[in-house]
Chain A
Amino acid sequence: MTIEQPADRTVDRRAFLARAAALAAVTTAGAVALPAIAKATGRHQPDLDTANAFVKPRPEALADPTELTLAEAAWLIREGKLRPEDLLEAYLARIAAFDSTYQAFNLVLTDQARQAARRRPGRGALQGIPLAIKDNYYTEDVRTTANSYLFQDFIPPFDATAVARLKAAGAIVLGKTQMGPLATTRATTPDGVVTTVNAWTPTDPRTDPGGSSTGTATAVAGRMVTAGTGTQTGGSITAPSNAQNLTGLKPTMGRVSLHGIIPLSYTRDHPGTLARDAKDAAIMLTAMAGEDPDDPRTQGLPDVPNLIDAATPVYLRGKLKLRWNTRIGVTPGFATGMSATALARQAYLAKLADIPGATLVEVPLPDEWDLLTGNTFNNVRLPERSEPFMPYLRDNLRGFGVSLTAWLQGALFGGNEFLTGQRAKLLLLERVLEQTFDLCDVVVQTQPVGFDILGLPEIAFPIGFSAAGVPIGTILGGLPYGEDRLLSIAAAYQAVTDWHHRRPADPPAASAGARAAEPARARLTADEVALLTQ
């Protein structure tokens, strides 16, 4: 597949805005004929076998296979210079050495992974690549807990569609990762005790590692796996990616099937990926995305574009340029001030502006942005939380642990308030399209909730470090189905910066004395979780 125009601008926004009145009729008309869908699993994925999916490794990455990006490892495997078994063993060695400190995994599938790594690699960039799977994705015959007492003995009878697609593409499930209980907060035990640390400050659990896809982020940042999956309901891919120097991609709602993922808020749960750079994120999403007969939200959408080519930098006469001319919207106050974050944002915008094809434009926040994306309207998601959990709420309130309160809040909602919230979503979308995206093609984000409410895509990537050595990241938001444009911008920025190639130092050797000197891992209370929940 070649790329001519990004997918986002093939949607005529004015046309559907003008036809909004037809919506109610279409909605109430109900059933729409759906195309016949090929079964998602076991299919060949030629989009993963294109030249741009393989990247010749940096010389400095050759000494240690855990340093390789996914695309670099794929190049070595394809060339017969790296065996999947050796890549896997390198990761297992780091897990053995460091995961007692990181606590990124709650289950490492050593035997199954070794067995899978012995298979002769086929064609495609994910062949023989070990991945971390967030523990709210079903894994067939492997315990899937969502870090909750409610699922502590749950062994799914099938893989989540996204997992099945990754496996069908040749990836190896190395383990299941720690997460906020039921995907609510940073990773803790179900009773609130912090588990996973930020890989950049492994001896200080007080540093926010980002949640709730914390374990995947720490596993990738700590070089215990190549890439992994996450879910985002309220920033749970972008936040840990920003916190741990990763590139995280939260696609448009429906791009990736939710079938086989334990729900948190079903209109807001976005499966996506946490990876080392834009190319790796593109490879992961290429495998995960597409129609699924088991999830109607994935059907009838625009085709998945060539994400891997989109994430490949473009050069004209040896000089980098953006793949597509793009207006980058900058909202008021985004880079104002002298804080480390503000300075990093200023440098980031300056770097972007220097890339031919990029135009920075000041854009306003839509009317009532703070109200319609604030706590009250964000809470409209809560009945989606309680409704699928009613059997558990009736007989096992204590099983929700510290996460309980939001589920009870959802159960208190009336239909009126819920519908007001759904009507406000369309209002907010139209304002975002009319007042912001009429002026730009992508827009900087300072918090992900608004675009999570709307189901719009976001990409997170690193832009610097604080004086304390903690990563600083940023988020770009795009139009519906605009993952390719977002990837193209992140890839161009990463072609002229090296933040994404920096890795954290290894944790000090675990010893009783060293452990005693570390701050204790705190325990979150139910009240704190109610405030922090995604």
Chain B
Amino acid sequence: MAPTPPTDAELDVFIRARLASLGIDLDQLPAGTAADPETGAPGRDSVLASLRSFVRGTIGTLAAYQLPAPAGTDPVVARALSQQPAPLLYPSISTHWRQS
């Protein structure tokens, strides 16, 4: 059974905790939604709203994506074969050393 999606409040706790674990304190930003008048940096509530949307969208979608197995693969082994594709930081560069 899929877990219950997190609420806004739960996500706020997660976001603050994750950032704090990296040493990043959102309280450096002005409270509320108004941008910092001097630098244009977003207000704390604005950035939290944006980050909640990001976690629900980008993070969730990427986490759910399963690399495809080769066409015609028996569904019984498709999950296992989807583990095979290699990660590449620089795919274009690899084209040279992959054929050399």
Contacts and interface: CB of A to CB of B under 8 A. Distances in A.
A416 B62 CA distance: 9
B29 interface: yes
B73 to A, nearest CB: 14
A19 B67 CA distance: 19
A301 B42 contact: no
Contact of A397 (B24, B57, B58): B24
Interface residues of A, number: 72
A411 B98 contact: no
Given A300-B97, A390-B23, A393-B24, A376 B58 contact: yes
B41 A375 contact: no
B86 A27 contact: yes
A423 B67 contact: yes
Given A409-B54, A411-B24, A401 B98 contact: no
B19 to A, nearest CB: 6
Interface in B1-39: 15, 18-19, 22-26, 28-29, 35-36, 38-39
A376 B41 contact: no
B41 A408 contact: no
A192 B40 contact: yes
Interface string B67-88: 1100000000000000011111
A402 B36 CA distance: 9
Given A376-B57, A402-B40, A421-B62, A526 B92 contact: no
A495 interface: no
B93 A301 contact: yes
B41 A411 contact: no
Contact of A454 (B23, B28, B40, B92): B92
A417 interface: yes
A190 B29 contact: no
A379 interface: yes
Contacts of A456: 92
A131 B36 CA distance: 36
Nearest to B67: A423
B24 A412 contact: no
Contacts of A480: 92-93, 95-96
A408 B95 contact: no
Contact of B18 (A12, A379, A411, A426): A411
Contacts of A523: 40
B93 A11 contact: no
A184 to B, nearest CB: 12
A19 B96 CA distance: 12
Contacts of B94: 16, 23, 426, 429
A526 B46 contact: yes
Interface string A515-534: 00000000101110010000
Interface string A488-529: 000000000000000000000000000000000001011100
Contacts of A375: 57-58
A411 B19 contact: yes
A149 interface: yes
A267 interface: yes
A399 B28 CA distance: 10
A20 B85 CA distance: 8
A402 B61 CA distance: 26
B46 to A, nearest CB: 7
Given A411-B19, A426-B91, A429-B92, A19 B40 contact: no
Interface string A286-304: 0000000000010011100
Nearest to A375: B58
A297 B94 CA distance: 10
A409 B48 CA distance: 10
Contacts of B97: 26, 32, 300
A142 B44 CA distance: 35
A425 interface: yes
A419 interface: yes
B67 A190 contact: no
A455 to B, nearest CB: 3
A267 B55 CA distance: 22
A527 B42 CA distance: 8
B14 to A, nearest CB: 9
Contact of A254 (B18, B29, B57, B92): B92
Contacts of B26: 397
B85 A414 contact: no
A465 to B, nearest CB: 33
Given A12-B99, A191-B38, A412-B15, A455 B93 contact: yes
Given A253-B92, A416-B63, 11 more contacts: A11-B96, A379-B54, A396-B28, A404-B42, A408-B24, A409-B54, A409-B58, A417-B58, A420-B65, A454-B91, A525-B35
29 contacts: A11-B95, A13-B95, A23-B94, A297-B90, A301-B96, A376-B61, A376-B62, A379-B58, A379-B62, A390-B23, A397-B28, A398-B39, A401-B41, A405-B47, A405-B51, A408-B51, A409-B58, A411-B22, A416-B63, A422-B87, A425-B89, A426-B94, A429-B95, A455-B90, A523-B40, A525-B35, A525-B42, A526-B47, A527-B46
Which 3 pairs across A and B sit closest by C-beta, in order of nearness? Answer: A16-B98, A455-B92, A422-B87
Interface of A: 11-13, 15-16, 19-24, 26-27, 32, 149, 190-192, 252-254, 267, 297, 300-302, 375-377, 379-380, 390, 393-394, 396-402, 404-405, 408-409, 411-414, 416-417, 419-429, 454-456, 480-481, 523, 525-527, 530
